[in-house]
Chain A
Amino acid sequence: MLESVIINSRQHVGLQKVSALAGRFRSSIGPIKNYKFIQDEVSGESVLVCSCFRIIENLEPTCAVGQLVYETVRAHHKGYHSGSGCLLFLAGAWSRAALDCLQRGIAVTHIIKAMSEGMDICLDVCKKSSVLFKDIAVMHKRTATPQDLGLQLSEKAITDGSQEAANVHDKFLNMSGQRRVKLSRHFCEAKSEMLSSALLPDLPELPDVAVLAESLSHGCEDAMKLAVEAAQMLSKMNQQHISDPSFDISKVQTCVLPGLPEDCACVVEGCVFLLSDERARVAHRIKQQPLKVALVTGDLSQTYRHLGFKSLSGVGVCEHLDLSASSKEDEWLEKVVKRLLNLKVNLILTAGFASQKVIQRCCRHHILVVEKVNSSVLRIIAGSTGAVPVSYATQLAEPCVGNGINVEIWRDLSSFERKSSTAVKISTGRNGGLVTAVITSCIHGKLQALEDQFWACAYRLHHALKDRALLPGAGGTEVLCVHQLQKQAEYHRVEDSKTGSAANLYRGLVLQLMADGLIDYISAVMVSTGRFSAAEARTIVSKQLQDFHKDEIVAGKFLQLILESRREDAVFSAGKPDEALAVKIYDNLSVKQEAWRKALDLVFLVLQTDAEIITGTGQGTEENLMRL
């Protein structure tokens, strides 16, 4: 027996569900995210969450639409680790826009066509307003040493094909009485050429990673500092050239140490493990000398069999002699230890478990056993030490052993935890090694949030370096998109009045509603910074849009300037406006584009769905259900 639900298309329950789900996340976007407790009613367990992805993961939506939303957010999080909040919020805002259109009687195909056009406009704006690296470098250099320049000008090189004159008007400059300079793009280019040759002979091609990172931190300054440290440490270790700014995020690991205060968080070369007393003693013995290492991907026990091996279940022994399992195990242990000693291996890393007997025996012979090592860490260590990971410990031979690995006692945590443990650092100190960010907190529940924040910052940096371009942040890009959408909507309205066909009217309306969704997003971000109320945010945004319409100056950083103006007056009273470095806020290009596309895909799927088929026995007698 099955039931199916037919939903009235005017009300569109699916879109309402998406909008309701996204509405819960209003305070989880923007630079200041509020922590939330999610409590399980049944078991009473609670979890402390901060990012949108974790919230929705713990909410475990059960309805079909909720699952679709969760699947979309999860897929985005896996690839980008940031931007889930933006995705969810815009999915909700654009669902409301679609609902509005449906209620006005616009057909579904028209909504989809118009919204796709809107998305193309937004993506185009992103591409055109993206700031290339060399321009960031130029700007930073300029604002850093303004007294070298005769003219206090901030310029931005124009990307090809941009119609609007791209000129950033710096409010600090205005305040100190400089004229607001409006330059045409030809003029601007000439100026930059002149200035660059005369005053800045060695213009850096790339901005400093630290500067970049600050602008991408979005409120998580500490986590971003760690990420920058990790990137710099990696590039030093791998002897990367200054012109190659890539950040190989696959070589970064995190290690979570509860009990230490938050400012103990740092980045170390190599990887960090917590070891019990007995093994810590061994570590003390073998520390600070180059060691040989063996890598085992399976368990370190006699009973381990590789994945895909079906153990014999129905085995009977012919003659019943008491060959018990334990002596087999001892035999195996003898063999393995003898081999390790022969190969002079002092450190053995395994991705699986090691039995207590093995650990004790190895400790007696001063061989350090570390278990449950991440398999990607094993691979990286294999790469940099020349070791070959094997599945069974009995396979170890001379060519499988790597060398050049170091063990160090990093920190003694015995005073913080009930069971004593020592944090030990294992590093290869050579090309191709990895770095670990150690995340610490006294509050156990906060650890995952801190780890997520680190990964968000690290991935933002990684994508920025990969894209080699950034988008104006703090709502700047969104304002440009809104402006462009409204312009196109106006164009459609004009066209409609000319030709008299209704076809263009709906397009204008849909684009306007999409723009409203983006305005909603900008105001939500502004409200969540805590410095504006909802009404103030809306007023500021609409004023800026009016200015756009008036004199067509594209100033992608206006919101940021308004934010800066709200900072403590100490900045202005410092008396030297040039020193107060405007920290320009930026966003990732690819992350934002992907988040927007995924949000719109979700809206399209839910918009076009009009019924559910529930298979399995359904005995409930709900209204709106029809049985087949």
Chain B
Amino acid sequence: MKLNSLPLMSRLVKKSPSVCTDLPLSSSDVCNKLHLMKEFLRSSYGPTARLKQVHNNIGGSVVTSSTSCVLLQAIASSQPIISLIRSSILNHVSRFSDCGLFAAVFCLCLLEQAGQCGLRKNVMIKVNKHLLALCTGYLQQEDCGCKVKLDFCSSHSLITLARSVISSKPTCVLTEPESDHISRLAVQAFLLTVPCNIPDPVRLGRTVTITIEGHSVLKSAVFPGLLLSMPENLCFESLCSPLHVVLFSISLAGDLSEIGDGRIEMHQGVDADSQILDRLLELGKQVLKDGVKLFLCQRVIHPVLQHYLRCNGVIVIERLGVSLMEPLIQLTGAQPVATLHATIPSTVFGKVHNVCIRQFGSKTMLHLHPAGETAVCSMILCHRNETMLNELKLVCRTTEHVLRLTLREPFALFGGGCTETHLAAYVRHKSKNEVSESTSVLGCSQTEYVLAAEAFCRSLELVASSLEHDGGTSLIDLTHAHHWTLPSDVTEEHLEGVMAPCACGVVESCQNKTRSYLDTKYAEFSPAPLLTASPLQATVLDSFTAKVNALGVAVETANLVLDVRYVIQDVN
């Protein structure tokens, strides 16, 4: 019994006991929901995926997207298992940005396959763990057959990687030239954020993204330096560089907003507003004396102060917002001033080389050119439609993150499902050959081990075939274990004559005899590495770091869910 904590309590409310469910995966309700989630996320995976519209029941804006962060954040379930999977994947996405849907679909496929093959849970968990280590080990090897070393001497592989990420989201509705343009811009922005000289410690710069609706995608551009939105009709005479900059992080609106909602007592006859305004004007005078030409504030500036400064030839920009402060500090070297009441020492001033005005449609922006080497750049993204523009902005952020990850591990994996099929073939082969050793280590029978390994490989292959949404069938070649998709309207005979490369573009045409359908059993083989003299370069690449981590997250989450024995819920 729990007493109500209201002082005027008149009732005693009985608290319901917690509900304990055992073996949640055996309940059909949970299984149905997991299946629904899997189908739902599978249909949003890849460049030909279907989009989802997210909106509130009571109205409000509609968001159309196929990205994992939007979709997973919208799925809020009362079922604990689903919440567990969801938060685990969201954690991965927040750390690596890419391969969120891959992780989710792989995890759910593992769970479904585990349920279907009916093995003991702890056997599945151990085998999964073992096979994950096998995969990660293989991927980390030098001679891994699905890994590509990125060549930083040419931008080609970086642009391919960027394009693969950008074209994986169909909500953007980009034509080929448009996605080429955006990929180039993304790589350009990334390269601009890598500092040229090697400061100590090495820090990557920032890309500030500004979106403009209603223009063609091809008008998007990247500028070194920062673009600040400014009020119209601001004209200034030519200024000589370098220009001194002062940056304020407090509100200069002339109010006492910093002190919060406390109670103030004033003497009668005191006009607080004009006193603060006087102090502000003194500040302005001092700043003018010090020769500052650019006066920036994170918050609001009092119009009288703005007017005074503008009449004296200073460029004033207010309401920058907290997200621009860090890049501004990096660009100008200014230290933000946080108080009105002290004299501003000249050490806090920053510098820019020059400013100019740029017009993008109806938006007027002030372009700050850096005084020296800088790692800050601005990207203007344009698109015809708000929905497509929002998705494009998300995708560009993901691309930036993926490119940064390549600095840590300069590799990429073949995309289009080829890595998954390759890994599946490798795991099958390896597990067949090592059955006896593995079973003794893992403490299970040979049959169990083989079945569990089969489930693991099957899940990988299911993820690869999830990329196809239009009724086509997936094929695998029996030499290199790469992935092909056969469209539904192309029959067997026609395929012979068709010289189509694999999904990632590396392996040339797939000969009839050395090919098999993905969902049939094929004789296991060791996938041969590609000849180094292969003429074709990959056209679809995946991020190495993100994918390896996604593999790990998926398997660990599946293992965790398999391991759950009891679920205790507080239903109050």
Contact = CB atoms under 8 A, between A and B. Distances in A.
A615 B76 contact: yes
B57 A601 contact: no
Most chain B beta-carbon neighbours within 10 Å: one of A6, A391, A611 = A611
Contacts of B61: 67
A318 B43 contact: no
A609 B51 contact: yes
Contacts of B53: 64-65, 68, 609, 611-613
Contacts of B388: 601, 605
A42 interface: no
Nearest to A394: B304
Contact of A613 (B39, B48, B75, B299): B75
Contact of B299 (A308, A319, A597): A308
A79 interface: yes
B171 to A, nearest CB: 7
Given A64-B62, A501-B494, A109 B48 contact: yes
Given A79-B214, A608-B170, A615-B74, A312 B256 contact: yes
B272 A312 contact: yes
Interface in A452-492: none
B58 interface: yes
Interface stretch (B91-99, B257-265, B431-439, B529-537): B257-265
A613 B173 contact: no
Contacts of A2: 74-77
Contacts of A379: 232-233
B173 A107 contact: no
Nearest to A500: B494
B55 A612 contact: yes
A618 to B, nearest CB: 5
B434 to A, nearest CB: 40
Contacts of A64: 53, 55, 62
A628 B232 contact: no
A116 interface: yes
Contacts of A305: 255, 273
A310 B387 CA distance: 35
A611 B54 CA distance: 9
Given A109-B48, A605-B171, A615 B54 contact: yes
Interface of A, secondary structure class, is mixed
B304 A395 contact: yes
Contact of B40 (A4, A71, A501): A4
Most chain B beta-carbon neighbours within 10 Å: one of A4, A110, A311 = A4
Nearest to A506: B489
Contacts of B78: 1
Contacts of A311: 255
Contact of B255 (A309, A602, A617): A309
A617 B254 CA distance: 44
B257 A310 contact: yes
B76 A107 contact: no
B58 A612 contact: no
Interface string B169-203: 01101010000000000000000000000000000
Contact of B304 (A65, A317, A392, A628): A392
A4 B36 CA distance: 10
Contacts of B264: 312, 314-316
A264 interface: no
Contacts of A62: 59
A71 B55 CA distance: 14
A324 to B, nearest CB: 12
B37 to A, nearest CB: 6
Contacts of A383: 233
A399 B311 CA distance: 10
Interface string B23-57: 00000000001001101100100001111111111
Interface residues of A, number: 73
A628 B82 contact: yes
A502 B173 contact: no
Interface in A578-628: 594, 597-598, 601-602, 604-605, 608-618, 626-628
Nearest to A108: B470
A502 B493 CA distance: 13
Given A71-B386, A308-B299, A392-B304, A107 B36 contact: no
Nearest to A78: B214
Most chain B beta-carbon neighbours within 10 Å: one of A1, A615, A616 = A615
Most chain A beta-carbon neighbours within 10 Å: one of B267, B269, B307, B388 = B307
Interface string A497-532: 000111100100000000000000000000000000
Given A391-B303, A601-B388, A310 B255 contact: yes
A609 B470 contact: no
A309 to B, nearest CB: 5
B265 A318 contact: yes
A72 interface: yes
A68 B233 CA distance: 34
Contact of B303 (A78, A306, A315): A306
Interface string A110-122: 1000001000000
Given A310-B253, A314-B263, A614 B55 contact: yes
B447 interface: no
B268 A319 contact: yes
Most chain B beta-carbon neighbours within 10 Å: one of A6, A307, A598, A614 = A614
Contacts of B59: 62
Contacts of A78: 214
Contacts of A392: 303-304
Contacts of B254: 309
A149 interface: no
B269 A323 contact: yes
A68 B299 contact: no
Interface string A301-337: 0000111111111111111110100000000000000
Nearest to A307: B300
Contacts of A309: 253-255, 300, 302
Contacts of A612: 52-55
Contacts of A388: 307, 311
Contacts of B257: 310
A626 B36 contact: yes
B304 A108 contact: no
B161 to A, nearest CB: 23
Contacts of B311: 388, 399
B33 A628 contact: yes
B442 to A, nearest CB: 35
B303 A390 contact: yes
Interface in A273-310: 297-298, 305-310
A199 interface: no
B56 A306 contact: no
Contacts of B469: 108-109
Interface in B257-285: 257, 261-269, 272-273
Contact of A618 (B57, B263, B307, B387): B57
A306 B280 CA distance: 15
Contacts of A442: none
Contacts of A107: 470-472, 487-489
A380 to B, nearest CB: 10
B402 interface: no
Contacts of B385: 71-72, 75, 598, 601-602, 605
B52 A609 contact: yes
A549 B471 CA distance: 38
B390 to A, nearest CB: 11
Contacts of A314: 261-264
B253 A628 contact: no
Given A318-B268, A609-B50, 13 more contacts: A78-B214, A298-B303, A306-B302, A308-B299, A310-B253, A320-B268, A388-B311, A503-B489, A601-B384, A601-B385, A605-B385, A612-B53, A617-B57
List 10 tightest A-B contacts by C-beta distance, closest first.
A308-B300, A391-B303, A107-B470, A616-B57, A610-B50, A314-B263, A310-B257, A64-B53, A609-B51, A613-B54
7 contacts: A2-B75, A4-B52, A107-B471, A306-B253, A317-B265, A317-B268, A615-B55
